[in-house]
Amino acid sequence: MDPESVITDTTNWPSPAKLNLFLYITGRKPNGYHELQTLFQFVDHGDTLDITANSSGDITLSPEIPGVPLQVNLIWKAATALQKATNTQLGAHIELTKVLPMGGGIGGGSSNAATVLVALNFLWQLGLDSEQLADIGLHLGADVPVFVKGHAAFAEGVGEQLTAAYPEEKVYLVVKPEVSIATVDIFTHPDLTRNTPKRSLETLLATDYGNDCEKIVRLIYPEVDKQLSWLLQYAPSRLTGTGSCVFAEFDSKSSAESVQNKLSDSVSAFIAKGRNVSPLMKTLADYQSAYS
């Protein structure tokens, strides 16, 4: 890699949310990890990162996230993991505009990490392919590879076996009750369903979608139970991931807006369109074209 080829302009990158359109737990490994089948789809709503590559060798972030030390911030961990994997001496300053709620089950931290890997691979002109970036990402979190690869996917195993999928791109009303949920609390719950039969993607796409974590989350968190019960009056609705965000699906933005207008002021919400190709991939292609 030629340091002279590094792109030092400040560039702006999306870090989209994801939804688990369905999530089934099919087994548990001896090491405690759960085997699952889930369908990931991106939405056109998320955080943004302004990234400026430099030759300092340092990774600096702003603003600081309260309660998240630098060394455990997934953005910093992703950038330093990429440095280590490629032995680069380059650095970057990264400014995060955070709009996605933490602890919501919509992949904010994993998406941030993936955006950093994709963006710095391009800005530093490292030349890694998506498989190599996804491998680095997997060590940061099970959901990072799907964000790196940037296509809606059917995930199996512990979430690392990805098959491109093409679910309908619906309009979603995503609602976050005023609770944050730790994934570990759900996956360690004794009553969690862990033996849902494995099915083919074709069968799952033709079946009403569900989420095996939903029963436990509704049991432990009455705020989530209340919100889901309310949404189900208006549209098919369910939990994403292990929560706490829930989502209702609609065929039009106007239908979603009419329900959003009825929401309580005690919850936060946004409307977004499902995207089978991540907004991150479009941004990458645009920058590749601009700097070619």
Question: 277 forms bridges with which residues in the sheet?
Answer: 151
Q: How far apart are CA 25 and CA 286, in angstroms?
A: 38
pLDDT 10s digits, 140-156: 998 999 999 999 999 99
Confidence of residue 102 (pLDDT cuts 50, 70, 90): confident
| Domain limits, the chain | 1-292
**Residue entry with tokens 């209340």:** 226
Calculate mean pLDDT across residues 162-183: 95
Q: State the pLDDT at residue 163.
A: 96
Please, what is the average pLDDT of the chain? 95
Write the DSSP assignment of 57-73 as a string of letters.
--EEEESPPTT--GGG-
Burial class of residue 262, CB neighbours in 10 A (0-12, 13-18, 19+): exposed
pLDDT for the residue 142: 87
Average pLDDT over residues 172-199: 94
The pLDDT value recorded for residue 248 is 98
State the pLDDT at residue 67.
84
Asked whether the beta carbons of 248 and 173 are under 8 A apart, the reply is: yes
Q: Is 215 a catalytic residue?
A: no
Q: What is the pLDDT of residue 25?
A: 97
- Which pLDDT score is estimated for 182? 87
Q: What distances in angstroms separate CA 98 from CA 40, 55, 268, 277, one per listed residue? A: 21, 26, 14, 21
* Residue 105 in this model has a pLDDT that exceeds 70: yes
Range 154-170 average pLDDT: 94
- Please choose, from the candidates 97, 61, 63, 56, the residue with its C-alpha nearest in 3D space to the C-alpha of residue 77: 61
- Angle between helical axes of 74-86 and 130-138 (0-180°, round to 10): 120
Residue 143 annotated as catalytic: yes
Q: What is the CATH number of domain 1-292?
A: 3.30.230.10
pLDDT of residue 64: 85
Mean pLDDT of 61-65: 90
Tell me what percent of the residues of the chain surpass a pLDDT of 70. Answer: 99
Alpha-carbon gap, residue 244 to 61, rounded angstroms: 27
111 contacts: CB under 8 Å, gap ≥ 6: 15, 16, 17, 18, 46, 47, 100, 147
Measured between alpha carbons, how far is residue 129 from residues 114, 125, 135 in Å?
A: 13, 11, 10
Which pLDDT belongs to residue 276? 98
pLDDT, tens only, 262-291: 999 889 999 999 999 999 999 999 999 999
pLDDT range class, residue 3, cuts 50, 70, 90: low
The answer to whether the CB of 267 falls within 8 A of the CB of 245 is no
Residue 214 pLDDT exceeds 60: yes
**Which pLDDT band holds residue 160 (cuts at 50, 70, 90)?**
confident
User: If you search the block for the tokens 């979608």, which residue do you land on?
Assistant: 209
Q: Which one is catalytic: 18, 77, 149, 176?
A: 18
Q: Is the pLDDT of residue 100 over 80?
A: yes
**Res 1: pLDDT:** 52
Helix residue ranges, H only, 36-143: 74-86, 108-123, 130-138
Q: Which two tokens stand for residue 104?
A: 């919501």
Given 9, 58, 135, 143, the catalytic residue:
143
Q: 26: left (phi > 0), else alpha (psi -120 to 50), else beta? A: alpha
What does the pLDDT average to over 187-207?
Answer: 96
Q: What phi and psi, each to the nearest 5 degrees, are found at residue 5?
A: -85, -5
Asked if pLDDT for residue 241 goes beyond 90, the answer is: yes
- pLDDT reading at 4 higher than 80: no
Residue 2 above 70 pLDDT?
A: no
Q: Which helix (H) or strand (E) holds 208?
A: none
CA dist., res. 205 & res. 177, Å (int): 28
Question: Which of the two residues, 157 and 133, has the higher pLDDT score?
Answer: 133
